[in-house]
Amino acid sequence: MASLNEVLEGKSICICAGSGGVGKTTTSAAIASGMAAQGLRVCVLTIDPAKRLADSLGLKELGNEARRVDPTLFEAQGVEMKGELWAMMLDAKATFDELIARQAPDEESRERVLNNRIYQQISSALAGSQEYMAMEKLFALHTEGEFDLLVLDTPPARNALDFLDAPKRLTQFIEGKSLRVFMKPTGLAAKVTGRGVSVALSVFKKIVGFDLLADLAEFFNAFSGMVDGFQARAKRVNKLLADRETCFLVVCGPQGEPIDEAVYFHRKLVEAKLPFGGVVVNKVHYPADELKGDIEDLPETLADKLGDPDLAKRVAANFADYQALAERDAHNIDHLASELRTSVVIRVPHLDEDVHDLAGLAQIDRYLFATAEERVEMAAGRA
């Protein structure tokens, strides 16, 4: 079985994708810190870190800029940090603003769009804009070339596939019919300047407090000059995602439904010709193989040790439940590996506590970056 190190060899982008709550943010942060510890300059682009994880990465505010995680914090955890870990939290709105600033032909049209009320609404509400902006920021960071490896966490989309379509959806919106209607001389903008309507509009203006139509017209006019630039850039973003230096990891849980979703997601990646690297199954229940045969005797053995037969019975029942879960997980993971026809199935156990600091990430890394032999030992519960 290939290890994560082999999968990431020579990659400059690693994208952790999967459904919500499975551990994408945790896995992204752990991969980034593990690769940085090995000597690379790594930046993790997180989307929605839990507050305590954000705090421990030094991500107190958005900012939309990468910050270096204090290296002495790793020393304090006994982790040797040979490289550099940087982290940033995606600010979709700020990324959109940066994109406008880049695409605008001049200062004036840039300001016109940025200050436009329609833009201000659209930039934060546009369907898929968070997904698209994650890709956009990734592309911008990649182009700047400051890092050896960029690790991208993906947004908690309702549907794990949303972000795959995001670039397309944004360009479709920009070049779409909705805009044409406004931009054509015979379009809505022209029609509504007719008399009766202008009365209605002035009433409307009173109600909403600003001249909606003027803002709309201005927005679409300023935006129309940028359509080509947007399209060209979206193409380059797509090209980067499909590049050999990019690698998609599917993160999932060990239960039936997450496994099915991972299978589906993998298929979509393959169809979209995006480079699939492997799958991380997080929060796995590991079996305690050496005890397996003795489950029947367990209550007695425990009663001796605990001196309380009732408690012993309950502990034994709990253990049997856990073993059943472990068997179910193992079965699901086998199924997943055969469906995906991949040898890269990396298991990470369900730790006793949430992962909210560098120590927690280091613990996840023990499993993520284990060699084949180490993994066999860990799976048997001996490590």
Ligand X SMILES: Nc1ncnc2c1ncn2[C@@H]1O[C@H](COP(=O)(O)OP(=O)(O)O)[C@@H](O)[C@H]1O
CB of 375 to ligand X, least distance (A): 15
In angstroms, the CA 41 to CA 46 distance is: 16
The DSSP element (H or E) to which 151 belongs, if any, is strand 149-153
Is residue 20 at the binding interface for ligand X, with CB under 6 A as the rule?
yes
Nearer to ligand X among residue 204 and residue 264 (C-beta): 264
Is residue 25 at the binding interface for ligand X, with CB under 6 A as the rule?
yes
Instruction: Report whether 151 contacts 16 (CB < 8 A).
Output: yes
Write out the two tokens for 253: 């849980």
* Near ligand X by CB under 6 A: residue from 23, 155, 277, 299: 23
Per CB under 6 A, the segment of 67-75, 81-89, 137-145, 354-362 that binds ligand X is: 354-362
Is residue 103 at the binding interface for ligand X, with CB under 6 A as the rule?
no
What are residue 11's phi and psi, to 5 degrees? -90, 145
- Residue 313: count of CB within 10 angstroms of its CB: 16
Nearer to Mg ion among residue 23 and residue 299 (C-beta): 23
Residue 295 contacts which entry, ligand X, Mg ion, none (Cβ below 5-8 A, type-dependent) = none
Nearer to ligand X among residue 277 and residue 360 (C-beta): 360
Binding mask 143-182 for ligand X (x = CB under 6 A): -------------x--------------------------
CB of 280 to ligand X, least distance (A): 10
Q: How many CA atoms lie within 13 A of 3 on its CB side?
A: 16
Nearer to ligand X among residue 205 and residue 375 (C-beta): 375
CB of 362 to ligand X, least distance (A): 12
CB of 25 to ligand X, least distance (A): 3
Is residue 282 at the binding interface for ligand X, with CB under 6 A as the rule?
yes
* Near ligand X by CB under 6 A: residue from 3, 26, 95, 246: 26
Nearer to ligand X among residue 189 and residue 346 (C-beta): 346
Q: How many CA atoms lie within 13 A of 208 on its CB side?
A: 13
Distance of CA 54 to the CA centre of its chain: 15
Nearer to ligand X among residue 22 and residue 340 (C-beta): 22
CB of 16 to ligand X, least distance (A): 8
Taking phi first (over 0 means left), then psi (-120 to 50 degrees means alpha), and beta for anything else, what does residue 350 get?
A: beta
In angstroms, the CA 158 to CA 68 distance is: 31
* Count of residues of this chain found to bind ligand X when the rule CB under 6 A is applied: 18
Torsion of CA 131, 134, 139, 140, to 10 degrees: 130
Instruction: Report whether 134 contacts 154 (CB < 8 A).
Output: yes
| Percentages (nearest 5) of helix, strand, coil residues in the chain | 60, 10, 30
Nearer to ligand X among residue 215 and residue 365 (C-beta): 365
* Near ligand X by CB under 6 A: residue from 24, 169, 285, 347: 24
Instruction: Report whether 116 contacts 219 (CB < 8 A).
Output: yes
Closest CA to 248 of 222, 221, 220, 274: 274
Interface residues with ligand X (CB under 6 A)?
20-26, 50, 156, 282-283, 348, 350-351, 354-356, 364
